[in-house]
Chain A
Amino acid sequence: MFIDIDCHQQKKFGQSAYGDYFTSKRYPDSGRLVAVLSDGLGSGIKADILACMTATMLLKFIEAESDIAKACEIIMNSLPVCQVRKISYSTFSAIDYEDGTAKIVEEGNPEFIWIRGGKVLQPPYEVITSKTFPNRHMHIYHISLQLEDRLIFCSDGVTQAGIGSRELNLGLRREGLIKVLEDILKKSPSISSSDLSKAIVRAAQDVEPGRKAIDDISAVSIYCRMPRNALVFTGPPYYQDKDNYYARIFNAFEGKKAVCGGTTANLVSRELGVPVETPLSMNIGDLPGLSTMDGVDLVTEGILTLTRTSEYLEQTRTSYPDDAAGRLVGFLLDSDCITFMVGARLNQAHYDPNLPVEIEIRKNVVKKIANLLENKFMKKIIIQYM
């Protein structure tokens, strides 16, 4: 089972910083996933700092402590109180998932919504009251997740959206959000977490008068699903007599496939007996264009395209140029578990001093891309050197 998790946010109208903060970490070896959403008091820079500090500290605490409840209690007991408003500096929701079970702790944030088979489940919870601040309580849940389950976490910017407006005097509230979710899921039952969290934020913003967010809006979506596998074959294997062996592994792989590299494309074509074609009409932008091969979803040039791909992944953007690297980004982000088969054979010609220096060593570029995919886009990555 793969946990597809993503967050989308909208700043409070007129503010330049987000007052909610989301952070998460995946542990590829154990399949563990820890995520925290924090809502800082107020808005703008101050809230941004409070939320960011709470979320990142909590993530580290949960990582270090074996018990998420203990970690959260320490944070709850130590969060300062705002001198002016006498309320907590920040609120949070935290989830620690491993092997089908999730432990969830909430303090001050709206209750999460658990949807299974189109129905909202009401899990039991335990309440722990802070010893230092009796008005602070945290809810602890232990739940078992199944395939196709969804969990939705949000900041109060979602549930209170539209408050005071003529149509929604009390705001969207939990009931309104559930209705929004039901509508979306009826229309697109297998919507990705990325799209669902965007749709929630959009729905919340839509009920605000003039679409001006009166508070920071954040939605985190978790979707338990079968992993979508992808394989990227780049670079010829170090031992040439292994070409056929690796080409067969590539061929037998179940999932989407990409080949990055002209020599690699020729190798796969030769070993599998499938012609590779490079129609010049498919050149876009200043990167070498795409080639086509039956049974392979994407065929690109190697090192230049990979380097550009890592640049695109590094930037935070909502859409990517429609060149070969943009297509590769789309291919990667559409997958959950990505395997890289990286050949170690050197192409002597790349070491010609006449070539631009930015031609990097393949291993390094792939490592950079893998790091970004793992830490920024929360993908599961396997790298196999050949």
Chain B
Amino acid sequence: MKKVEVKLCLGTTCFVMGSSKLQELIDIIPEKFGDKVSVSGSACLELCSSSTEYSKAPYVKVDDDVVEEATVEKVLEVIEGKLK
């Protein structure tokens, strides 16, 4: 099975809107899912400037799905959905 890829946006907007707090996913994801899921950062996912509504940061991408106003719980939920 292909690995699920999680990318956290670390651009300015996302960082101040909460992605700094998402960094605990670095530890949680391997603990919970082992090597089925990989997690990395992104200099900027360019979602805040392309979305028509600007206020949905922080953004996280799980494969090609965008998680808006991401929290640790939301991201974990999306990953679980993918692994089902």
Contacts and interface: CB of A to CB of B under 8 A. Distances in A.
Interface string B15-51: 1110010010010000000000001111110101100
B55 A354 contact: yes
A280 B43 contact: no
Contact of B12 (A277, A286, A359): A359
A280 B13 contact: no
A313 to B, nearest CB: 20
Contacts of A108: none
A279 B13 contact: no
B8 interface: yes
B44 A262 contact: yes
Contacts of A318: none
B20 A302 contact: no
Q: Is the interface of A mostly helix, strand, loop or mixed?
A: mixed
Contacts of B48: 347-349
A131 B81 CA distance: 92
A276 interface: yes
Contacts of A349: 13, 48-49, 54, 57
B43 A262 contact: yes
B5 to A, nearest CB: 13
Nearest to A353: B55
B24 to A, nearest CB: 11
Interface string A259-288: 001110110000000001111110100101
Contacts of B39: 280
Nearest to A262: B44
B15 A350 contact: no
A71 interface: no
A237 to B, nearest CB: 14
B2 to A, nearest CB: 20
Chain B contact patch, size range: 20 to 34
Contacts, number: 87
A179 to B, nearest CB: 52
Contacts of A350: 12-13
A113 interface: no
Interface string B55-67: 1010000000000
Contacts of A263: 11, 44, 46, 49
Nearest to A356: B16
Contact of A288 (B15, B17, B26, B55): B15
A291 interface: yes
Contact of A352 (B11, B40, B54): B54
Tell which of B15, B16, B44, B54 has the most Cβ of chain A within 10 Å: B44
A289 interface: yes
A304 B13 CA distance: 10
B71 to A, nearest CB: 15
Given A263-B49, A349-B57, A280 B23 contact: yes
A279 B41 contact: yes
Contacts of A291: 41, 43
Contacts of B10: 262, 278, 283, 288-289, 301
A222 interface: no
A280 B26 contact: yes
Nearest to A236: B49
Interface of B: 8-13, 15-17, 20, 23, 26, 39-44, 46, 48-49, 54-55, 57
Q: Which 9 A-B pairs have the closest CB atoms?
A: A262-B44, A278-B41, A349-B48, A262-B11, A262-B43, A265-B43, A288-B10, A349-B54, A349-B13
17 contacts: A262-B42, A278-B10, A278-B41, A278-B43, A279-B40, A280-B40, A288-B11, A301-B12, A301-B43, A347-B13, A348-B48, A349-B48, A349-B57, A350-B13, A355-B13, A355-B16, A355-B17
